[in-house]
Structure 1
Amino acid sequence: MNICFVANFFKTYFFEGVANKLKNEGMEIYWICFDQEQFDHLSNIYSKGNCLLLSMGVIKKEAEPLADFKLNELVMGDRFLRHQQDWAFDYLKSIQPLAYNFVKEKGLKFVFGEITHAHEILLYRMLKMFKELKCKYLHPQSVRIPNKRFLFLEDEFQSKVCGEHLILNKEWESEWKIVEAVRPRRVAQVDKEVKNELSFSGRLKRLSNFFTNSNIKSDLPSVVHNKTKRSLIAVVQELNKFMYRFVKTDSFEVIQDKKYVLYTLHMQPEASVDVVGAYYDNQLKNIINIWRILPDDWFIVIKEHSNAIGNRSPKFFKSFKTLRNSILLHERVDSHKIIENAQAIFTVSGTIAYEAALKGKMAFTFADIFFNKLKNCTKISIETFRAIENFDDLIQMAKRANEGKMSIEDYSAYIYKISFKGIVDAPLNSEDWADEANFETVSRSFVSFINAIDE
């Protein structure tokens, strides 16, 4: 079977570790690369004929697209291309025929990659549209809870699991446990990474990269190439990190005896809000819209994401605090304590909605996400807010929606049937990052999935 991996920064190392194991299983491995250095490295291992280079060198002025793939949306949602619209559209048009022909000529059955950058989402949309290619773009994604398990998503919004009506995992009965609200393993690892970034040595390293351009590849589309723009983005982020220490935050005791709803802020830019939560990526607007439907004696509570400090300016928090009955909690306040006392939880696509639903609390997501199948976890929209008479009406709507959703026990069985052992989202330099045993586990899971879906 011919399968392909899409290179993506440090994730390429992980995919390469898995691909090497799959190659030993007799699978033919192909790669789609986005810079020359990456291409040369992978070509030496898998041969040039098995690798496609889609660097900035392929750009043709006024290239003809194969179809309409909502390029405006793709460019606006990409953290790099939105700053480089002078060539971004030509790039996305230019890679279309090259990618199409590569998939067709190599007879690819599956393409595995992230759904983060515009070119990745474009590849997904192309394979979805051009059914004659008989190839699926799949995104290996952590199930979030329980830890050390992953599944394969087949849409760009993390709502549709490939093979979700099948029993993909033949070992599910021996692995099955009731899913409980626990802190995802990755969160603790990312917190450690953030502490390192905020340290003096972390700042020094970023400063060194900034002046030496050591992390900038001239042909990679996923980089802001204009040094002035790149400098401005970096300076603003560092300034925001510095200024956040002067933003007044509150302790849990401030809200302990109050009626409140919680909205947890996402990192941004980040696929979880810019891609999965497309059209709900203005988080301040989301918060204001939630506040508008609350009873007038309730409070709107937000909490900064611990690894997102620097994403938002002091102006964001100042604007939030103009809302009556608004509280900004310290980012280190235990989310589970906040959930316990909350009337409801709101998020774009965050795991906190999943955790809240597992605790029996009402949770609402603006994105349609795979764990919305669980009772008490409901997808909402602006139209929902317009339609309800008051907040209690929203709760009653969610209770009615629960009639068609899974109990925790049913959801637990479901998630074990469609997911596999392995860690696919280990942060760089964490203990799981280069774990050989994990490569072995994940590759076995890939084989099990491919065999099950190909039956």
Structure 2
Amino acid sequence: MKSICFVTNYKKTYFFDAIGKEIQSQGGKVYWIVLNNMLYNYLLPTYGAESLLLVNKEQGSFPNGKVGEYKLNELVSVDRALKYYGEWSYDFLRNIQKPIYDFISSNKISYVFGETTYAHEVMLCRMLKDKKELNCKYLHPQTIRIPGYHFTFLEDEFQSEIFEGVKFDTYEDGFVIQVQRPTESVVNENRVKKSMNVLSKLKRSTRFFTQKNMELDDPSISPTNLKGRLNKGLSEEWNRLTYLS
């Protein structure tokens, strides 16, 4: 069985973890690239330190040689957190390249599964396409619209290339696929509606002032100064309102 690796990404981490435990129970080897200490400590008892690579703010501040050019200006400018960190953002993306390369190489990892949301994820996708000698693919699991209740694995940051190993369902001639609203759209709408009740707003306000559940060593977390958090919070509230309008 091939060795695989997951990249932590907030709540998606727990979904990946459930899959990882099942793979591990069947004799597979599972590795992780981890963005903060909280998730590192959560995953440690199950997978062991040798299977985890921590690339938080502290680790990403240690100088390391880069392994390629991956348009870091482009990545930083659109990243929801790194764009606020100035020159350190570029240092971080350069410094994590070699440790990740060595981690994948030494453990002979064949597939890395992750999102394409943050700069480090997109950079990793680009790096694995560039470094053919690693013989490793970056795959992004994603739901598809037609037919509904299906998902696939995408190979590129633009979500346009379906992994060649995916097997599609076959349908008999004359079978009609029902066009329906994307499942993710329904889930998001329900989530936003729930977030607009008084209790949810109170919880968000409490978290804003206490900084509860904010992993400050995570590079995908925006800077914690009051002005930055206020701007981000107001922007999110506006997005919730306009999403439902």
| TM-score of the aligned structures, taking structure 2 as reference length | 0.91
Q: Where does residue 234 of structure 1 map in the other structure?
A: 233
Q: Where does residue 36 of structure 1 map in the other structure?
A: 37
Give the partner amino acid of 2:201. R
> How many residues get paired?
242
Preserved contact between residue 152 and residue 166 of structure 2 (Cα < 8 Å): no
Preserved contact between residue 105 and residue 134 of structure 2 (Cα < 8 Å): yes
Deviation per CA, 1:413-441: give whole Å up to 9, x if none.
xxxxxxxxxxxxxxxxxxxxxxxxxxxxx
Identity %: 35
Displacement after TM superposition at 1:60 (Å): 3.4
Alignment RMSD, CA only? 2.1
Distance 1:32 1:203, change over 3 A: same
Pick aligned residue for 1:193 from 191, 208, 212: 191
Unaligned runs of 5+ in 1: 245-303, 307-330, 332-455
Give the partner amino acid of 2:92. Y
Unaligned runs of 5+ in 2: none
Q: Where does residue 71 of structure 2 map in the other structure?
A: 70
Distance 1:122 1:24, change over 3 A: same
Deviation per CA, 1:105-142: give whole Å up to 9, x if none.
00001111111111111111111101000000001111
Give the partner amino acid of 2:199. S
Q: How does 1:30-429 map to 2 (within 5 A)?
A: 30-60=31-61, 63-163=64-164, 168-169=167-168, 172-173=170-171, 177-228=175-226, 229-238=228-237, 240=238, 305-306=243-244, 331=245
Preserved contact between residue 76 and residue 83 of structure 2 (Cα < 8 Å): yes
Distance 1:31 1:139, change over 3 A: same
Displacement after TM superposition at 1:68 (Å): 0.9
Preserved contact between residue 3 and residue 109 of structure 1 (Cα < 8 Å): yes
Distance 1:22 1:187, change over 3 A: same
Displacement after TM superposition at 1:237 (Å): 4.2
Preserved contact between residue 64 and residue 98 of structure 2 (Cα < 8 Å): no
Question: Which of structure 1's runs of 4+ aligned residues deviate more than 6 A?
Answer: none
Preserved contact between residue 123 and residue 137 of structure 1 (Cα < 8 Å): yes
Preserved contact between residue 153 and residue 160 of structure 1 (Cα < 8 Å): yes
Distance 1:230 1:86, change over 3 A: farther
Give the partner amino acid of 1:230. R
Tell me whether 30-39 or 221-230 shows the greater mean CA deviation: 221-230
Tell me the distance in 2 between the aligned counterparts of 1:87 and 1:210: 25
Distance 1:4 1:167, change over 3 A: closer
Distance 1:117 1:177, change over 3 A: farther
Displacement after TM superposition at 1:70 (Å): 0.2
Distance 1:129 1:217, change over 3 A: same
Tell me the distance in 1 between the aligned counterparts of 2:26 and 2:124: 26
Preserved contact between residue 151 and residue 161 of structure 1 (Cα < 8 Å): yes
Instruction: From the CA coordinates, give the structure whose radius of gyration is larger.
Output: 1
Tell me the distance in 2 between the aligned counterparts of 1:116 and 1:167: 22
Displacement after TM superposition at 1:200 (Å): 1.2
Deviation per CA, 1:56-111: give whole Å up to 9, x if none.
11133765422110001111121111122241111101100000000000000111
Tell me the distance in 1 between the aligned counterparts of 2:111 and 2:181: 32
Deviation per CA, 1:136-173: give whole Å up to 9, x if none.
0001111123222111100000111111xx7724x635
